[in-house]
A and B are shown apart, each in its own frame.
Chain A
Amino acid sequence: MAKLKLATQWLEECAGCHMSILDIDERIVELLKHVELTSSPLTDLKHPPEEGVDIGILSGAVGNEEEVQDAREMRARAKTLIAFGDCAVFGGVCTLRNFFTKDEVLRRAYVEAESTMDGHVPEHEDLSPLTERVMSVGDVVPVDVYLPGCPPNADTIWYVLSELIAGRMPKLEGDKTLKYGLDG
Chain B
Amino acid sequence: MSEVHLTINGLQVTAQSGQTILEAARAAGIDIPTLCHHPMLSNHGACRMCLVEVKGMRTLQTACTCPVAEGMEVQTETDEINECRKFSLELLFSERNHYCMFCQVSGDCELQALAYRYGLDHWRYPRPYEKMAVDASDPYIIMEPNRCILCTRCIRACAEIVANHTLGLRERGSATMVMADLDVPLGQSSCVECGVCLQVCPTGALIDARSAYGGHAEEVTHTQTTCMQCSVGCQLDVISRSTRILRIHGVWNTEPGGGLLCVDGRFRPLYETRERIAQPLVRDHGKLVPAGWTEALAIVAKKLKSGRVLGLASGATSNEALVAFAGLMAQVGGKAGQTMPALPTLGFGQPAAVQDILATDYIIVAGANPLVYQKVVGYLIRRAADRGTPVALIDVPRGGLEASAVLSVSGQYAATVTEQAAQAQAPLIIYSVGLKPGVARALKPLAHARWLALAPGRNSLGARAAGLAPLEGHDLTSSRFDVLFFLLGEGSEEGGVMPRLDGAFKIVQTAYRSPLAEEADVVLPAPIWAERSGHVTNLEGKTLPLNPVVPMPDGVRDEAEVLDTLRTMM
Contacts and interface: CB of A to CB of B under 8 A. Distances in A.
B271 interface: no
The residue among B103, B117, B121, B123 with the most chain A CB atoms within 10 A of its own CB is: B121
A51 B119 CA distance: 34
A interface, how many residues as a size bin? 20 to 34
A93 B122 contact: no
Interface string A168-184: 00011111001111110
Given A89-B122, A146-B121, A178-B119, A95 B129 contact: yes
Interface string B94-122: 00000111110011000011011111111
A175 B116 contact: yes
A147 B121 CA distance: 7
Contact of A93 (B99, B117, B126): B99
A183 B104 CA distance: 10
Given A90-B99, A93-B101, A181 B106 contact: yes
Contacts, number: 76
The residue among B101, B106, B112, B118 with the most chain A CB atoms within 10 A of its own CB is: B101
A126 B129 CA distance: 30
A95 B116 CA distance: 22
B131 interface: yes
B441 interface: no
A99 B131 contact: yes
B101 A136 contact: no
Contacts of B115: 178, 180
B interface, how many residues as a size bin? 20 to 34
Given A93-B101, A180-B101, A173 B131 contact: no
Given A146-B122, A174-B119, A183 B107 contact: yes
Interface string A10-52: 0000000000000000000000000000000000000000000
Question: B interface, by DSSP: helix, strand, loop or mixed?
Answer: loop
A148 B115 CA distance: 12
B101 A173 contact: no
A181 B99 contact: yes
A171 B113 CA distance: 17
Contacts of B480: none
Contacts of A173: 116-119, 121
B85 to A, nearest CB: 13
B304 to A, nearest CB: 59
A98 B99 CA distance: 14
Given A180-B112, A182-B101, A172 B129 contact: no
A145 to B, nearest CB: 8
Given A86-B101, A99-B131, A172 B121 contact: yes
Contact of A148 (B103, B107, B121, B129): B121
A100 to B, nearest CB: 9
Contacts of B116: 173-175, 178-179
Given A98-B129, A139-B126, A183 B119 contact: no
A83 interface: yes
Contact of A181 (B101, B124, B129): B101
Contacts of A89: 121-122
A150 B121 contact: no
Nearest to A97: B129
Nearest to A136: B122
The residue among A86, A89, A133, A180 with the most chain B CB atoms within 10 A of its own CB is: A180
A92 B118 CA distance: 21
B102 A93 contact: yes
The residue among A99, A136, A150, A183 with the most chain B CB atoms within 10 A of its own CB is: A183
21 contacts: A86-B101, A89-B121, A89-B122, A91-B127, A92-B99, A93-B101, A133-B129, A173-B116, A173-B117, A173-B119, A173-B121, A175-B113, A180-B101, A180-B112, A180-B115, A181-B102, A182-B100, A182-B106, A182-B107, A183-B100, A183-B106
Q: Which 4 A-B pairs have the closest CB atoms?
A: A181-B100, A173-B119, A181-B101, A150-B101
Given A83-B122, A148-B122, 15 more contacts: A89-B122, A90-B123, A92-B101, A146-B121, A147-B121, A173-B118, A173-B121, A175-B113, A178-B120, A178-B121, A179-B116, A180-B101, A180-B112, A182-B101, A183-B107
